Structure 1
Amino acid sequence: MAPATTPEAIDLARNYLATVPRLVPIVGHRYLPATPAPRGSPVSSVYQTDVIYYGADLVS
């Protein structure tokens, strides 16, 4: 169900965004999560709304 008011929608979005990992820019539109995974951090390609798994870690 959608929030009834704009302030409710903003609060809902802020609460959701607080749960996702922050991204650290590497080069261009390649990013690593700020919190490392147990076996390295996956590299993602993020361009506007297009998010692609780019590699298992920075080395690959």
Structure 2
Amino acid sequence: MFAVLRILAVVAVVIIAYAGFRYTRDRQPHWLRLIRFVLYSLLGLGLVFSVGLFIERLSLG
């Protein structure tokens, strides 16, 4: 489970870096929306994984 989260985090960093680079060249708001979408998606997935891990720990108790 943590391997998937790490891979997604690395992909998110690459996408954010590329979008940031493109935004500095083009100044189009599309790239900022992409960065915001990726950050919110990564935060949401991290929250889902954290809640799932917490529930799993409670059930194994």
Q: TM-score, length-normalised on structure 1?
A: 0.32
| Larger strand proportion of the pair | 1
Kindly indicate whether structure 1 or structure 2 has the higher relative contact order, using CA contacts under 8 Å at least 6 residues apart.
2
Q: TM-score, length-normalised on structure 2?
A: 0.32
| Larger helix proportion of the pair | 2
